[in-house]
Chain A
Amino acid sequence: MAEITIGLAGNPNCGKTTLFNELTGSNGYVGNWPGVTVEKKQATWRADRDVTFVDLPGIYSLSPYTPEEVVSRDYIVNERPDAVIDLVDATNLERNLYLTTQLLEAGRPVVVGLNMCDLLKERGDVIDAAALSERLGAPVVEVSALRNTNLDALVSKAVEAGRAGKVQPGARCFSPEVEGALAQIADVVSGSCDANLVRWYSIKVFERDAEAVKALHLSSAQLNKAEQVIKAVEKSRDDDAESIITSDRYDWIAGVMAACVKKAPKKLSMSEKIDKVVTNRILGLPIFVVVMFVVYYIAVSTVGTWGTDWANDGVFGDGWLWNPSDQAAYETATEEYDAGYYGDKIDGFLAAAEADGLDTAGVSDAVAALAEDPEDAEAQAVVSGFVAEAEAAGVVATDVPMHDGDGNFLDANEEVVTRIDADGEPVLADGQELAVIDSVSASDFADAVAAQESAPALDDYASFVPSIPSVIEGWLAAAGASEFVTALVLDGIVAGVGAVLGFIPQMLVLFVMLCFLEDCGYMSRVAFVMDRVFRRFGLSGKSFIPMLISSGCGVPGVMATKTIENEKDRRMTAMLTTMIPCGAKTPIIALVMGVLIGGSDAWWVAPMFYFLGLAAIVVSALMLKKTKMFAGEPAPFVMELPDYHLPTLKSWWLHVWERISAYLKKATTIIFAASVVVWFLLEFGFANWEGGNGAFGFMSLMEGAPEYYTDYSLLAIVGNAVAWIFAPLGADTWQAAAASINALIAKENLVSTFGVIYGIGDATENSVTMWSGFAGMFTDASGILHVGAMCAFVAFNMLDAPCFAAIGTIRKQMDSPKWFWFAIGYQCVFAWCVGLIINQLWELFVLGNFGLWTVVAFVLLAGMIFQIVRPMPKQDEKDEKVLAQLC
């Protein structure tokens, strides 16, 4: 049989998503309608693959004002699906029928599905479906999308109507005067369009809907004739044409309601009872705070983070233990092992032995080899020989300093010693004492080596599951892959895929909650409660949720913008929400804290960064909403507050799955490609080190490559080439540029890149060596730390384009190259300006330097302030839809 396409139309909250998922199993294509961020879904019927459903956005009307409505009517009128199913919420019939009357005019066969009839019965209301069908002139089928009743009958009716191809005449819902005018206009337009669409276009001409009428290419004589007819009606009704049409529709519907619906006496419904509490004047805000806290707590601080850690550190890291008791045992063992300070004992003893004139060459390598493989006979021989020798010489190490897990010196109170001198020796404050192991003898050393051999390892436990990289490494080794191929697959490809998949657990947790809030009806109440706050910045109340989520991770944060109805708000929120510091930016914050205040508990530093993020969003929103791209009338906040209802598990899950699979399909390519490119830049370079031959190649395999070969990488070359961009920000080194580029893979890479570049290896953001290394980049020859330059650099990295995962998500969300590049471009330029202003203000007020860039900074600052405070520029009003404009 021939293929058939059916459009699904209906109001928001009428159960259309549930219907679509029930009919198709949500197996189809999810994308956007061309040019807008409105979601387009398309899938085949489970019962018959020849039937394709296109899910139109939930709309209240076919007016020309919102992208959702324009997309829907363009689809029906221009792409001409074989039939349209109009799903109608029976519990809210009056307003739902308003869309129905318009759909009936759009020139396609319409079948009305009367949804939620079960709920209606509970209420005690009765709808006479047969009478309704007669009035509308279209088949009406009673269904329940939630309980999957009668859905096949509904679709069969639509397929039948589609095959027959017979378009209903539509309801004559206007007053006689208007109908007369429409008949006259019909005469004018009838030659210019399809016979089925004469009524549609007559009404559009009457409404002066220029957007729709453009397609007719009417002559100015025709338009003038129509205009006279319209003017006459407007005069006699003392109202404008658009209002007359709308009022007449609702008046007609009121008549239908009276004839077809018997209402039971109204009592307070469950939904109303819930709402009395939830949006209560006094309790509303506290309840909102609690709900948001729960969402944040579960998605960001607990379950979501466990999920992400499991995916990143376990599945794509060192492997993991599926048995929680094994995990607990492993943690206890690790703690005990750490308390032994075996590494410090070994290092301290070796140093003492060397000081006593013993030959320690090769011993530490042997110790390391034993930690890997205790059976290594050669290493055993080296170590035992050394121990015997040291014992004979009577070597005893005294006052060996202890280090914590980050390699920092500890004081007697087990606090980190926060200052070190240029040689890496600890600098103690008055009264502070270094924590030391009093003495380490040769036998202590031997014990420490033995202890290190049996250090707790994950794979000692029965429930160990190896990580994906290690499994693939095994395969590659078995297949005899070269070192280059292994590195490419593991560090390039697997790491790239891991970057994508690592977000899935957290997204899952988040969307389980967000979809519930959305499906049960609380999301509109969020907007209701928060609107007052956000509309000052030109955003809607629903922008709150993406921003809250972004403080954990920008990827789900950007995805969460899907719940914002207004397209401008949606785009702006997707652009700005990643400026909130996410979890991956916290190491950067810790690093700055360490440099500025030695990592002590200064509570105000971290909130400062969140404040910076929030201020950046507010300033950006205020500036952007006055630009051409976002300007225009403020979005009308006229919003339905739907009844609360519990979603079924199935529809809930399908909703969650839809969101996550869309992310997987759309965002992955860019993340993946970008990760591989940066890996390539980092690993390839020219052998220009001492003794190198200057050849280009894969550096880690090249002859004589230094341990930290990044200095010679392509990334360093790129970094050098772009370093001038950062000069006005006070950090014109290639390291700063390279770190910023590398941070695009993941923001925490900013810290590790410095570790690699400055040759401090495993140092973390909590390591004092890292603090001094980082501070060194911003310290001038006289040893004064340039706080302004450092803050500028950090601010730039906080506010610029987010990591590739979030960039990919923004691209998926925008679904338009123009908007995507605008978003990324804006973020980078804005971040640069903020960095410039910070640095130049510091230069001027603290260091007393004045130069060209100082002027630039002041000009930028003044420009920003001007853009914020200036009144909204006048935009071309789109209301003047006089037909004459068309000719």
Chain B
Amino acid sequence: MATLKDVKVGESATVTKLTGAGALKRRIMDMGLTKGTRVHVRKVAPLGDPLELTVRGYELSIRKDEAASVEVSDVTRDDR
């Protein structure tokens, strides 16, 4: 199963499942990464981590470790 960590910069994907638990999972959901949400990976920080995402019309930063707990499908390349 692909996770958000594997999505490359400039690609978009749809969230299918959150595998984490507790505070982290809730936090990710609270920020709008719920099942069925479309996410765009915008860039990666200069040192290679964290990622910058566009979700629900705003910019969200998330570590790669945490992105690994977000399962995604439907990865496409788009020029936003």
Q: Is A222 an interface residue (CB 8 A)?
A: no
Q: Is A227 an interface residue (CB 8 A)?
A: no
Residues of the B chain whose Cβ atoms lie less than 8 Å from the Cβ of A612: none
Q: Is A61 an interface residue (CB 8 A)?
A: yes
Bound complex: CA A640 to CA B52 (Å): 9
Q: Is A92 an interface residue (CB 8 A)?
A: yes
Say whether B30 contacts A640, CB under 8 Å: no
Q: Is B1 an interface residue (CB 8 A)?
A: no
Q: Is A639 an interface residue (CB 8 A)?
A: yes
Say whether B32 contacts A250, CB under 8 Å: yes
Residues of the A chain whose Cβ atoms lie less than 8 Å from the Cβ of B56: 94-95, 250
Q: Which of A65, A279, A528 contacts B27 (CB 8 A)?
A: A65
With A532-B47, A633-B24, A638-B66 known as contacts, the answer to whether A524 contacts B61 (CB < 8 A) is yes
Residues of the A chain whose Cβ atoms lie less than 8 Å from the Cβ of B22: 65, 633, 877-879
- Among listed A281-289, A395-403, A834-842, interface-contacting one: A281-289
Q: Is A533 an interface residue (CB 8 A)?
A: yes
Of residues 44 through 80 on chain B, the ones whose CB sits less than 8 Å from some CB of chain A are 44-50, 52, 56-63, 66, 80
With A95-B58, A636-B24, A641-B52 known as contacts, the answer to whether A243 contacts B29 (CB < 8 A) is yes
Of residues 55 through 78 on chain A, the ones whose CB sits less than 8 Å from some CB of chain B are 60-61, 63, 65-66
Residues of the B chain whose Cβ atoms lie less than 8 Å from the Cβ of A639: 60-62
Say whether A247 contacts B61, CB under 8 Å: no
Q: Is A414 an interface residue (CB 8 A)?
A: no
Say whether B62 contacts A63, CB under 8 Å: no
For this complex, into which size category does the number of interface residues on chain A fall?
35 or more
**Which single residue of chain B is at the shortest CB-CB distance from A93?**
B57
Q: Is A853 an interface residue (CB 8 A)?
A: no
Q: Which of A94, A239, A246, A281 contacts B44 (CB 8 A)?
A: A281
Residues of the A chain whose Cβ atoms lie less than 8 Å from the Cβ of B13: none
Q: Which of B28, B32, B52 contacts A94 (CB 8 A)?
A: B32
Q: Is A826 an interface residue (CB 8 A)?
A: no
Q: Which of B34, B43, B49 contacts A247 (CB 8 A)?
A: B34
**Which single residue of chain B is at the shortest CB-CB distance from A524?**
B61
Say whether A640 contacts B31, CB under 8 Å: yes
B19 CB, nearest partner CB in chain A, Å = 11
Say whether A640 contacts B58, CB under 8 Å: yes
Bound complex: CA A239 to CA B60 (Å): 24
Bound complex: CA A61 to CA B32 (Å): 11
With A641-B52, A641-B59, A878-B22 known as contacts, the answer to whether A528 contacts B31 (CB < 8 A) is no
With A524-B61, A529-B47, A638-B60 known as contacts, the answer to whether A246 contacts B24 (CB < 8 A) is no
**Which single residue of chain B is at the shortest CB-CB distance from A263?**
B57
Q: Is B18 an interface residue (CB 8 A)?
A: yes
Q: Which of A61, A246, A527 contacts B34 (CB 8 A)?
A: A246
Say whether A640 contacts B61, CB under 8 Å: yes
Say whether A531 contacts B50, CB under 8 Å: yes
Bound complex: CA A800 to CA B33 (Å): 45
Q: Which of A60, A275, A532, A637 contacts B48 (CB 8 A)?
A: A532
Bound complex: CA A878 to CA B25 (Å): 13
Q: Is A174 an interface residue (CB 8 A)?
A: no
**Which single residue of chain A is at the shortest CB-CB distance from B69?**
A636
Chain A residues engaging chain B, CB cutoff 8 angstroms: 60-61, 63, 65-66, 92-95, 98, 239, 242-243, 246-247, 250-251, 266, 275, 279-282, 284-285, 288, 524, 527-529, 531-533, 535, 633, 636-643, 877-879
Can you name 11 A-B residue pairings with CB atoms under 8 Å? A247-B34, A247-B35, A247-B36, A250-B37, A275-B59, A528-B61, A532-B45, A532-B50, A633-B22, A633-B23, A637-B50
List the 6 shortest-distance A-B pairs measured between CB atoms, nearest first: A879-B22, A284-B46, A61-B30, A532-B47, A65-B23, A641-B59
